[in-house]
Structure 1
Amino acid sequence: MLFFHQKKHRYMRRFRKIFLLIFIQFFVFHYHLFAQDSLLTADEAVKYAIQHNFGITISKNEIDIGKINNNWANAGAVPLVNATANKVVGVNNLQQKLNNGTVITKNGNTTQNFNAGLAVNWTVFDGLKMFATKRRLEELERNGEYAFKKNLNETVYNVISSYYNVVTINEQIKSTLEQITLYRDRNDLAQRRLEIGTGAKYEVLEAQVDLNEQYSLLLSLQNSLALAKTSLNNLMGKIPDTSYNVVDTITVNELPTIENAQTKIAKQNPDILLANSDLTILFETKKEINAERLPVVTLNGFYNFARNKNGAGFTLLNQTYGPSGSVGVALPLFRGSVVKKQLAVTDIQIKNQQITQAQIKNNIETLLRNAYINYNNSLKLVDLEKSNLVLATENIYIANERYKKLNITSVELRQIQISYSDAKNRLYNALNQAKLAEAQVALLTGDIANL
């Protein structure tokens, strides 16, 4: 009976080994299959997004709308020309009694009236409103360009952030596969030690739990990788299930001095340019409103043709045609203080926009300082974690050899393996944070599209 149970346990252990081997080979196979996809670099992802991102495409179209609207006709400086034509046909009963005693009676009398004309109306002075409107339209066109640049820069930043998130998860998957190999070796050693009587059952169970935990982590990372790639595809304007491979390194570039970054921000940051543009638009709007207080001078020109034809009566045909012209002056005397109230509202809007400008500048300065702090600290962490990883790599090799010789317990080996895994993950995260801080500075300075 005892022999039967021992044999049963051996079969169960062999079955678990086979299952675990198939499981890890399944993931390794799919991982290598993934690695065979075409390589997508960060630069390629950014270039593709610039050409195909939906939001960027819409922003480009908004620029075209601004260009179309920016013209003197919309500003009210172009003459208006209207052509009119009207024909009236009627049937009337006529009855006339003249002073000489003559009586004229005619039923079914037809009349035909035809009028045609050409009218030109040109506002030559409207309190300079048309010039303020034209400047506002020009600023709106520039505003659309700034909005496009803002959308472009933010999209590029999101693409870079999403891309290196994929890289980080991909490297974490590699690390987890390496950990699975280490944990599987530890599990095999614990099994053999139990079989020869030098180990304990709890060591085997602990090794199996830790190994299963790594498989669970691998599944979770595979899921996170799929989601991250889908998000990146969406930013690039690709279909969600597009497959590709990414680079396996994160290269962090040197940042400009904070003084140079501040100078670029003042000249290139889209948020600041947009805030300045919005303020300019409000000033031009105020001029347009103020022009409502001033007189309006218009030139009017006409060319009319009129033809009246009657079947009976004194005048059987009357036809006139020829040009005419006039000068019109309109002076606003009272409008219920509407202009005054509109100006008061605009003044408040201008004050709010000036406060918004100060707020945006302060927010950007805060983001810039934080980005430099994150960048410098992340680089320090990268250097530290590289050193830690060298030590952890050497330590885990020694620990494995000592465990084989029964010089350390499984608990000690497990802790060393965890330390090794944590060191690698901290290094990836530090590199990713440094890259994001670099991208944040480029976003604030307006250089993100050239990163």
Structure 2
Amino acid sequence: MKKYTLILLTLFVTQRLFSQTLTLPDAVSMALKNNLDIEVLKNNVQIADINNHISVAGGLPAVSATITDNESSTNVNQKLNTGVEIKRNGAAANQLNSNVTATMLLYNGYRVKAVKKRLEQAELQSLQFVNAQVQNTIAAVMTRYYDVIRQQAYTRTIDQSIDVAQKRLDIVKAQQSVGLANNADLFQSQIDLNTLYQTKQSQQLIIEQAKTDLLLLLNVRPDTMISIRDTIVVDRGIVLDDIMKNLNRNAELMAAEYQIRIAEQLVKETTALRYPTLRANTGFNYNRNQQAAGLTLLNQTSGPFIGLSLGIPIYNGGVFKRQEQIAGINAKNAALQKSILLRNFSNAAVRTYQAYTMNLQQLDDQKKIVDLARQLLNLALQRFQLRQATIVEVRQAQESFENAGLIMTNLSFAAKAAEIELLRLINELK
């Protein structure tokens, strides 16, 4: 008995857990936490941060040590000018060479400085890629969230129409009971009511699929039960001039700006290849050569050394010059790509703002139309009850009310979607 009680309690808690109301802040927070694309971009930021170091740019000394120890067996045959002759087979010999060397770059046309600057810009660019993905994710979640609300709002319109259809059926039954209505009106009223129930079921499927699409963005199980209770409220204070002035805050545009700076540093890097390279070298050598036979039985040397090395590129077929020209063209292309992005975003901002203002205007008008359609429906139902209107007139009033409600919910959603897109363009979604 305790076992069954525990199972039922677990099922109840699980149902409560997955049927809780999902708010927009919770949905956004969950999506940002679980988004795999954002995780990949964050990893790229870590890579860029690790890579952004003076050692990667070549600005720190390099220290290396080498040891070579060779053991050999040789045949010795030597004749000295003193008349002494040395002849021995299988004489053991050992050669030990070792050194520790430190090399410090002194000058290479400021290439190290250019590389370090490029790595800094690459890290900043990777952060903007994350910001862009965050904005895109928030926009997608908000749009899907409000789409669910839109579909639920239309369902409420259908429910109101069902109430009217039920009242109409009750009126027909009452009239038929006193001989004032025929079976045709009764059958038609019942058919219309059943059709509305089917429409509601189809609409419920649309809602469930919209929730499933939202769950995909949240990266949770698609069969998770969620409940959304919210309304669509559109911010009416957005001004086009403010959007256009703040387009430079767009994360993709900022990433394009960093790409220009990266390309400019690459130009400096390739230019530096044509300059001399000066290095300071220092270290310590230890060499030991020992033989079992021969003129020199032991030769050992050790000591520090210091020096300079200078490398001057004289001619390599013009490769460096061509690389510099290519880097310059890439820098121009980076600037052009930013200009293209700015042009496209400006166009998108204007078009979206036009849709935003038009949807708001139509929404205000549509609210009045919905009120009129509701009044017309109530009036038609009253007249039908008084046998002053036909069943066809009531059906037409119902259809007008349903269509008006559908248009209003679509306009409200379209205005909200335009608002979301405008805020995304200026990196303002939170």
CA separation of 1:359 and 1:202: change in aligned 2, threshold 3 A: farther
Q: How does 1:39-438 map to 2 (within 5 A)?
A: 39-187=21-169, 198-199=180-181, 203-204=185-186, 206-266=188-248, 268-438=249-419
SS in 2 for 1:241: coil
Ranges in structure 2 where 5+ consecutive residues have no aligned partner: 1-14
Whole-angstrom distance in 2 between the partners of 1:425 and 1:197: 37
SS in 1 for 2:78: strand
Q: After TM superposition, give the deviation of residue 178 of structure 1 in Å.
A: 3.3
CA-to-partner distance for each residue in 1:145-200, whole Å, 9 max, x for gaps? 11111111111111111110111112222333333343344456556767876555
Equivalence for 1:12: none
SS in 2 for 1:448: coil
Q: TM-score, normalised by structure 1?
A: 0.85
Whole-angstrom distance in 1 between the partners of 2:243 and 2:180: 65
CA separation of 1:61 and 1:411: change in aligned 2, threshold 3 A: same
- Checking the alignment, whether the CA contact within 8 Å between 1:46 and 1:156 is kept in structure 2 is yes
Whole-angstrom distance in 2 between the partners of 1:445 and 1:404: 56
Whole-angstrom distance in 1 between the partners of 2:319 and 2:309: 23
1:396 counterpart letter in structure 2: L
SS in 2 for 1:249: coil
CA-to-partner distance for each residue in 1:272-308, whole Å, 9 max, x for gaps? 2112111111111111111111111111122111112
Whole-angstrom distance in 1 between the partners of 2:108 and 2:198: 75
Q: After TM superposition, give the deviation of residue 371 of structure 1 in Å.
A: 2.4
Whole-angstrom distance in 2 between the partners of 1:194 and 1:98: 143
SS in 2 for 1:38: coil
CA separation of 1:316 and 1:202: change in aligned 2, threshold 3 A: farther
Whole-angstrom distance in 2 between the partners of 1:347 and 1:216: 66
Please provide the CA RMSD for this pair: 2.4
Whole-angstrom distance in 2 between the partners of 1:318 and 1:84: 19
CA-to-partner distance for each residue in 1:57-116, whole Å, 9 max, x for gaps? 222222222111111111111111111111111122333344444443333321121222
CA-to-partner distance for each residue in 1:22-67, whole Å, 9 max, x for gaps? xxxxxxxxxxx99x93222212222222233222222222222211
Whole-angstrom distance in 1 between the partners of 2:185 and 2:95: 112
Q: TM-score, normalised by structure 2?
A: 0.89
Whole-angstrom distance in 2 between the partners of 1:285 and 1:213: 68
1:179 counterpart letter in structure 2: S
Whole-angstrom distance in 2 between the partners of 1:262 and 1:354: 19
Whole-angstrom distance in 2 between the partners of 1:213 and 1:135: 69
- How many residues matched? 415
Whole-angstrom distance in 1 between the partners of 2:91 and 2:173: 122
1:164 counterpart letter in structure 2: Y
CA-to-partner distance for each residue in 1:425-448, whole Å, 9 max, x for gaps? 112111111111211121112111
- Checking the alignment, whether the CA contact within 8 Å between 2:270 and 2:327 is kept in structure 1 is no
Equivalence for 1:26: none
- Checking the alignment, whether the CA contact within 8 Å between 1:171 and 1:248 is kept in structure 2 is no
Moved more, 158-167 or 206-215: 206-215
